[in-house]
């Protein structure tokens, strides 16, 4: 129902910054919330940040004060500004969109963008 394409990943030194982008297409009017999740090597996927349609944000404890999620509704795009990056932030970052279609909640996922933080 919704297609998501992430971009902006790359290699950065510890203490540096990156901004990830996620462009949504398809049935975008069904989206209730969007977010970023990540999967470090050998670990499970975990929530990083979520932003609802009303602008309410939620952050994982590990990134509070360092990461900021935002949306540009005109461009159907969500961003993740990552500052003060640590080696522990190294992961594949996935964009997520939660949709409601005929009463069913569904999660839509991008294919991921790799962030590598060196120290």
- Given this model, what pLDDT does residue 92 score? 98
**C-alpha distances out from residue 21 to 93, 104, 112, Å:** 10, 27, 11
- Given this model, what pLDDT does residue 77 score? 95
pLDDT, tens only, 36-87: 999 999 999 999 999 998 899 999 999 999 999 999 988 899 999 999 999 9
- Given this model, what pLDDT does residue 1 score? 82
- Given this model, what pLDDT does residue 15 score? 98
pLDDT of 112 higher than 90: yes
- Given this model, what pLDDT does residue 64 score? 98
- Given this model, what pLDDT does residue 103 score? 84
Distance CA 25, CA 99 (A): 12
- Given this model, what pLDDT does residue 99 score? 93
pLDDT, tens only, 2-45: 999 999 999 999 999 999 999 999 999 999 999 999 999 999 99
pLDDT, tens only, 82-97: 999 999 999 999 999 9
**C-alpha distances out from residue 90 to 12, 54, 111, 114, Å:** 10, 30, 16, 8
């Amino acid at each position: 129902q919704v297609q998501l394409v992430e971009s902006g990943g790359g290699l950065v030194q510890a203490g540096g910054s990156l901004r990830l982008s996620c462009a949504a297409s398809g049935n975008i009017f069904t989206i209730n919330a969007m977010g970023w999740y990540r999967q470090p090597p050998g670990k499970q996927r975990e929530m990083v940040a979520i932003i609802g349609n009303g602008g309410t944000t939620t952050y994982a404890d590990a990134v509070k004060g360092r990461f900021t999620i935002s949306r540009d509704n005109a461009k159907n795009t969500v961003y993740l500004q990552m500052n003060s990056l640590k080696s522990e932030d190294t992961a594949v970052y996935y964009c997520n969109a939660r949709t409601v279609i005929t009463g069913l909640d569904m999660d839509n996922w991008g294919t991921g963008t790799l962030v590598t933080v060196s120290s």
